[in-house]
Amino acid sequence: MASLPEVYLARHGETAWTLTGQHTGRTDIPLTARGERQAQSLAQRLTGVVFARVLTSPLSRALRTCALAGFGGQAEIDADLQGVCFFRNDAELEKNQRIMAHCT
Protein backbone atom coordinates (compact mmCIF):
# COMPACT_ATOMS: atom_id res chain seq x y z
CA MET A 1 0.00 0.00 0.00
CA ALA A 2 1.34 3.42 -0.96
CA SER A 3 1.83 5.93 1.81
CA LEU A 4 -0.05 9.20 1.82
CA PRO A 5 1.90 12.35 0.97
CA GLU A 6 2.95 14.63 3.80
CA VAL A 7 1.70 18.21 3.71
CA TYR A 8 3.44 21.02 5.58
CA LEU A 9 1.67 24.30 6.27
CA ALA A 10 3.53 27.39 7.44
CA ARG A 11 2.00 30.69 8.37
CA HIS A 12 3.85 33.93 7.69
CA GLY A 13 5.94 35.47 10.44
CA GLU A 14 4.88 38.22 12.80
CA THR A 15 3.55 41.54 11.47
CA ALA A 16 2.79 44.80 13.28
CA TRP A 17 -0.88 43.87 13.17
CA THR A 18 -0.15 40.52 14.83
CA LEU A 19 1.04 42.52 17.83
CA THR A 20 -2.15 44.58 18.00
CA GLY A 21 -4.49 41.65 17.34
CA GLN A 22 -5.77 43.10 14.09
CA HIS A 23 -6.91 40.81 11.30
CA THR A 24 -4.75 41.48 8.23
CA GLY A 25 -6.87 39.69 5.64
CA ARG A 26 -5.62 40.81 2.25
CA THR A 27 -3.95 43.98 3.53
CA ASP A 28 -0.31 43.68 2.51
CA ILE A 29 1.48 44.18 5.84
CA PRO A 30 5.24 43.44 5.93
CA LEU A 31 6.98 41.26 8.48
CA THR A 32 8.47 42.78 11.61
CA ALA A 33 12.12 42.08 12.44
CA ARG A 34 10.87 39.32 14.74
CA GLY A 35 8.77 37.93 11.88
CA GLU A 36 11.88 37.76 9.73
CA ARG A 37 13.74 35.89 12.49
CA GLN A 38 10.81 33.48 12.77
CA ALA A 39 11.04 32.75 9.04
CA GLN A 40 14.78 32.16 9.32
CA SER A 41 14.09 29.79 12.21
CA LEU A 42 11.69 27.90 9.97
CA ALA A 43 14.53 27.42 7.50
CA GLN A 44 16.57 25.75 10.22
CA ARG A 45 13.66 23.48 11.22
CA LEU A 46 13.09 22.38 7.63
CA THR A 47 16.73 21.73 6.74
CA GLY A 48 16.94 18.54 4.71
CA VAL A 49 13.22 18.39 3.89
CA VAL A 50 12.66 18.10 0.15
CA PHE A 51 9.36 19.40 -1.16
CA ALA A 52 7.75 18.33 -4.41
CA ARG A 53 5.86 21.62 -4.53
CA VAL A 54 5.92 24.91 -2.61
CA LEU A 55 3.00 27.33 -2.83
CA THR A 56 2.79 30.85 -1.42
CA SER A 57 0.39 33.74 -1.31
CA PRO A 58 1.34 36.80 -3.41
CA LEU A 59 1.29 39.01 -0.29
CA SER A 60 4.69 40.38 0.70
CA ARG A 61 4.64 38.86 4.19
CA ALA A 62 4.12 35.38 2.75
CA LEU A 63 6.67 35.84 -0.04
CA ARG A 64 9.27 37.13 2.43
CA THR A 65 8.60 34.28 4.88
CA CYS A 66 8.96 31.78 2.03
CA ALA A 67 12.21 33.36 0.85
CA LEU A 68 13.76 33.56 4.33
CA ALA A 69 12.72 29.96 4.97
CA GLY A 70 14.80 29.02 1.93
CA PHE A 71 12.04 28.14 -0.51
CA GLY A 72 11.58 31.35 -2.49
CA GLY A 73 13.36 29.96 -5.54
CA GLN A 74 10.96 27.08 -5.96
CA ALA A 75 7.76 28.73 -4.73
CA GLU A 76 4.73 29.08 -6.97
CA ILE A 77 2.52 32.08 -6.27
CA ASP A 78 -1.13 31.13 -5.83
CA ALA A 79 -3.58 34.01 -5.48
CA ASP A 80 -6.10 31.67 -3.83
CA LEU A 81 -3.80 31.53 -0.79
CA GLN A 82 -4.27 35.21 0.09
CA GLY A 83 -5.73 35.99 3.48
CA VAL A 84 -9.43 35.59 4.00
CA CYS A 85 -11.27 38.85 3.63
CA PHE A 86 -14.55 39.38 5.46
CA PHE A 87 -15.04 42.91 4.11
CA ARG A 88 -15.44 44.40 0.64
CA ASN A 89 -12.26 46.47 0.90
CA ASP A 90 -9.57 47.66 3.29
CA ALA A 91 -11.51 50.86 4.11
CA GLU A 92 -14.48 48.80 5.32
CA LEU A 93 -12.14 46.56 7.32
CA GLU A 94 -10.50 49.60 8.95
CA LYS A 95 -13.88 51.16 9.78
CA ASN A 96 -15.01 47.95 11.48
CA GLN A 97 -11.76 47.68 13.43
CA ARG A 98 -12.27 51.23 14.74
CA ILE A 99 -15.84 50.37 15.79
CA MET A 100 -14.71 47.14 17.49
CA ALA A 101 -11.96 49.01 19.36
CA HIS A 102 -14.65 51.07 21.09
CA CYS A 103 -16.59 47.94 22.11
CA THR A 104 -13.88 46.38 24.22
- Rounded CA separation 41/44 (Å): 5
Whole-model pTM?
Answer: 0.75
Look at residue 32 and tell me if it is in a domain.
Answer: yes
Give how many domains the chain has, as a whole number.
1
Look at residue 83 and tell me if it is in a domain.
Answer: yes
Look at residue 1 and tell me if it is in a domain.
Answer: no
* Cβ-based neighbour number of residue 73 at 10 Å: 8
Look at residue 55 and tell me if it is in a domain.
Answer: yes
Look at residue 63 and tell me if it is in a domain.
Answer: yes
- CATH number of the domain where residue 52 is located: 3.40.50.1240
Predicted local distance difference test score (pLDDT) of residue 36: 96
User: Which residues constitute the domain of residue 40?
Assistant: 16-101
Predicted local distance difference test score (pLDDT) of residue 67: 96
- Rounded CA separation 80/19 (Å): 25
* Tens-binned pLDDT, residue by residue, of the chain (104 aa): 788 988 998 888 999 988 887 767 778 889 999 999 999 999 999 999 999 999 999 999 999 999 999 998 999 999 888 865 555 556 666 665 554 454 44
